[in-house]
Amino acid sequence: MPDASTPLDATSRKTNRLRKAQVLGTFGVLLLLAATVPPFVNIKRFRHGILQAISEGLGRPVRAGSVELILLPRPAFVLHRFTVAEDPAYGAEPVLMAGTVTASLRASTLWHRRVEIATLSFDAPSLNLTRNAAGSWNFETLLHSSSTPAGPATGAKSASAGMPFPYVEASEARINFKSGVEKLPFSLEGTDLALWKESGGEWHLRIKARPVRTDLTVADAGQIRGEAVLHASGPLEDAPVRASLEWRRVQLGDVDRMLQGKDDNWRGVVDWTAHAQGTLASVLISTDVQVSEFRRAEFVPAAQMGLHLQCHGAYVRRRDALDGLQCSAPAGDGMLRVVAAGMLPLSSNGASGAPDAATSSAGGPPAITLLVQHVPAQSVLEMLRHVHPGVPSAAVVSGELNGTVACQWAGIRLPNGCSGQLQSTSLALRLPQFTRPLQLSRLTVAAAEGSPGIWQLQPSPVSLGAGTAATWSGTFSASSLALRITGPAKLRNVFRLAQAFRIPALSGDVRVSHGSAQLALAVQAAWLPQPLFSTTPGPQSIGFAPSLWTGNVQIRNAVITLPVLRRPLQLASAEIELAPGTAGWNHLSGTYGHVPFDGSLRWQFPCASTAPGCARTLLLHARSLNAADFLASLQIKSGPSHLLELVNPWAASVPKLPQLDAIVSVDLLTFGRLPIEHAALDLGMGGQTAELKSISGNVL
């Protein structure tokens, strides 16, 4: 087989070796220059020109402790202990400080006397952005001085011509914000910054930073990214500007801590973007905020929920105010809208600087209006479910909510001085305890006159199975609610409602087959967690206190089945009373196993059923009781141990007894042929045991 190598291949190999040799030779020459040239360069000659060039480019006096020259990878001077002076109108502290700054030179700098800076690279600098009382920022003078034309073109650059602005970049920078001489707690750390100027006075800014607070610890405030373009060829007020900013995947609790210095225990993942376009005098701003996995920190709801808010308006710099603010938030198939009337001042400076900035178009104080448009009632229920754990997780409601609320503008805080009303359509509430939905008529919630921050639920009928509907009403505020329900109801529905909302004395394992009730119940609950009292030493825990139920329920002709009783309990009448810390069944009158009785049952709550002092106290009275007949009604065979069986008829059964102290009095208690007059039995019960503590009476 012939040899594949040819004279052409040999020539190619020689050419490649020659190129490699040229590259290595060039690199060697550069290394030689880098090693030999700097010692012969007069650094003092260039030092003044370098600082003057940077000063003219930045429009500020600059200082440097020492300067050194490097040639690789490109010619540059390294400045140590570098500072940029502040404009006296904004303070005396340097606007910028850096331990090391690399000033890359244009190639022509080494061959003529004019020093031109191509790039300024700052390593971990500290930058102060200051806003004075007039609302101006210190970087505006930089834009203004650098935007001034250098003079007419002459074909050759004169020594006095203005220096071109260098490409400025910074890594791991810290940006501090100041209001006058006061340094604010907000800062940006780990900032990567790039600032450059193109032809025609077009400024470009690119930033990536991590927001922090200097007065407290924020676990993870995410990362901010932004870009901006400013055309500063004329007056700055008329300079067109275009900018975008985003803050993504940050925890809602950390946003809370960043903006207001405390954590209100709201949780969720926030994605925020903003866009601005206009001039520095008046710029149109649009924002988009999305919160996923929204909830309270104290509990985790069964399902996740997201929030979405979009806003747009114009920022008027001269008045430091928002104009034409409009926001919208979808809620199911409906919408929440916020519309502003007139200018909304963002600070006292904006309001005082422009008298008409603090008034609406109608001549009054600035206000915002909330429009509730076809918001599903289920969306409201979902929101409440993610705010408070007491809202039943399986509840479903149909219907919608509409209305208008007007509030006085109070800056970037919660609105106050609100008025208006919200009205629902007819609602159907489905609870798993009910086979049919509860029908609720139209609800109206209106601001209470003379009571700022209080909203009233107007009396509205609700059908609970009786011939006449009951009525419910209440009041709401930002911190709590109070509801009241009065009127007739089927007792079965009362217990179902009590099980759904965990009402003490009504929400146990009780089955009702017959009976009627007359309700007069009230409940008070706090929307937000509060410190919970604890007898143990140490810091107090935070949580949701149980809802406080008070009032009474009148019961008539009821048939009730309890798991610890083998037969239904027939009540001719009874009254359930709820008071703070106590519950009771009073004025009991009925029969069990054909044995008439009367009495009462009371206990304290909240309290563990097995804790000392938490036993229920039962007082029962019967006029006549035959032990054999009573045991027969309990389906227990009488025998030699019939007295023990009377004390503990549940010993072999599965259901456990509640913690109970019982005093049973019988006018005439009969054991076989032995009658006991005015008998009194003191019983202690709990679990599957019962104790006869004492028995007394008149025998023979």
Give the residue from 456, 488, 490, 489 showing the smallest Cα distance to 473. Answer: 456
Q: What is the pLDDT of residue 648?
A: 42
Q: What is the pLDDT of residue 256?
A: 86
- Cα angle 458, 504, 660 (rounded to 5 degrees) comes to 160
Q: What is the mean pLDDT of each run of 10 residues along the chain (700 residues)?
A: 55 65 56 49 66 79 86 80 90 91 72 72 94 84 60 40 75 92 89 89 92 82 92 82 94 87 89 95 96 91 93 92 94 95 73 43 74 96 90 92 91 75 95 90 91 91 90 92 95 90 77 92 88 58 81 94 81 93 90 88 66 72 81 48 40 56 88 86 75 84
Judge whether 456 and 446 are in contact, CB under 8 Å.
Answer: yes
For residues 467 and 517, give the distance between their C-alpha atoms in angstroms, rounded to a whole number: 12
DSSP 563: T
Judge whether 270 and 257 are in contact, CB under 8 Å.
Answer: no
Q: What is the pLDDT of residue 154?
A: 39
- Give 286's strand partners: 275, 312
For residues 566 and 555, give the distance between their C-alpha atoms in angstroms, rounded to a whole number: 22
Give the residue from 404, 341, 332 showing the smallest Cα distance to 372. Answer: 404
Is the preceding omega at residue 73 within 30 degrees of 0, hence cis? yes
Which residues have a Cβ under 8 Å from the Cβ of 85 and sit 6 or more positions away? 60, 61, 62, 63, 94, 95
Give the residue from 390, 365, 460, 366 showing the smallest Cα distance to 422. Answer: 460
Tokens of 57: 């480019």
Amino acid sitting at position 476? F
For residues 550 and 537, give the distance between their C-alpha atoms in angstroms, rounded to a whole number: 31
Range 573-582 burial, b when 16+ CB lie within 10 A, else e: ebebbbeeee
Judge whether 400 and 424 are in contact, CB under 8 Å.
Answer: yes
Q: What is the pLDDT of residue 65?
A: 87
For residues 507 and 346, give the distance between their C-alpha atoms in angstroms, rounded to a whole number: 51
Q: What is the pLDDT of residue 25?
A: 56
Q: Is the C-alpha dihedral spanning 382, 387, 389, 391 positive or negative?
A: negative
- Give 623's strand partners: none
DSSP 137: B
Give the residue from 280, 351, 348 showing the smallest Cα distance to 316. Answer: 280
Judge whether 525 and 503 are in contact, CB under 8 Å.
Answer: no
Judge whether 597 and 621 are in contact, CB under 8 Å.
Answer: yes
Judge whether 295 and 320 are in contact, CB under 8 Å.
Answer: no
For residues 273 and 279, give the distance between their C-alpha atoms in angstroms, rounded to a whole number: 20
Judge whether 621 and 602 are in contact, CB under 8 Å.
Answer: no
Tally of CB atoms within 10 A around 274: 16
Which residues have a Cβ under 8 Å from the Cβ of 24 and sit 6 or more positions away? none
Give the residue from 564, 550, 433 showing the smallest Cα distance to 490. Answer: 433
Residue located via tokens 């012939």: 2
Judge whether 592 and 570 are in contact, CB under 8 Å.
Answer: yes
Which residues have a Cβ under 8 Å from the Cβ of 512 and sit 6 or more positions away? 491, 492, 495, 558, 559, 560, 561
Judge whether 182 and 128 are in contact, CB under 8 Å.
Answer: no
Tokens of 397: 């409601």
Tally of CB atoms within 10 A around 691: 11
Orientation angle between helical segments 43-58 and 139-146, nearest 10 degrees: 100
Q: What is the pLDDT of residue 146?
A: 59
Give the residue from 329, 364, 371 showing the smallest Cα distance to 343. Answer: 364
Helices (H), 402-467: none
Which residues have a Cβ under 8 Å from the Cβ of 557 and sit 6 or more positions away? 514, 515, 516, 571, 572
Is the preceding omega at residue 301 within 30 degrees of 0, hence cis? no
